[in-house]
Amino acid sequence: MEERTLTDGTIWLSRPVEADIEAMVEGCRDPAIIEWVTVPYPYGRADAEEFLGTAVADGWAGHSPVWGIRTAEHGRLIGTVGLGTPPRDDTAAEIGFWLAPDYRKRGIISRAVALTCDFGFDPAGMGLIRIQWRAFAGNHASAAVARKSGFRYEGLARLAGLQRGIRRDFWVAARLNTDPPGPAPGWDVISAR
pLDDT tens digits along 35-63: 999 999 999 999 999 999 999 999 999 99
Ordered by start, the domain boundaries in the chain are 6-176
- pTM to 2 decimals? 0.94
**CA Rg, the chain, in Å?**
16
Which range among 105-109, 121-125, 143-147, 178-182 shows the weakest confidence by mean pLDDT?
178-182
**101: closest CA among 79, 85, 116, 120?**
79
3-state secondary structure of 132: strand
Q: How many CB atoms lie within 10 A of CB 98?
A: 20
Averaged pLDDT for residues 27-41: 94
Q: What is the CATH number of domain 6-176?
A: 3.40.630.30
**172: closest CA among 141, 145, 144, 151?**
151
Contacts 24+ apart (CB under 8 A), 166-172: 168/136, 168/137, 169/136, 169/137, 170/134, 170/135, 170/136, 170/137, 171/134, 171/135, 171/136, 171/137, 171/139, 171/143, 172/132, 172/133, 172/134
Give pLDDT, residue 191. 61
pLDDT tens digits along 154-193: 999 999 999 999 999 999 999 999 999 899 998 988 865 4
Residue type, 187: W
Residue type, 181: P
pLDDT tens digits along 63-115: 999 999 999 999 999 999 999 998 889 999 999 999 999 999 999 999 999 99
Give pLDDT, residue 189. 83
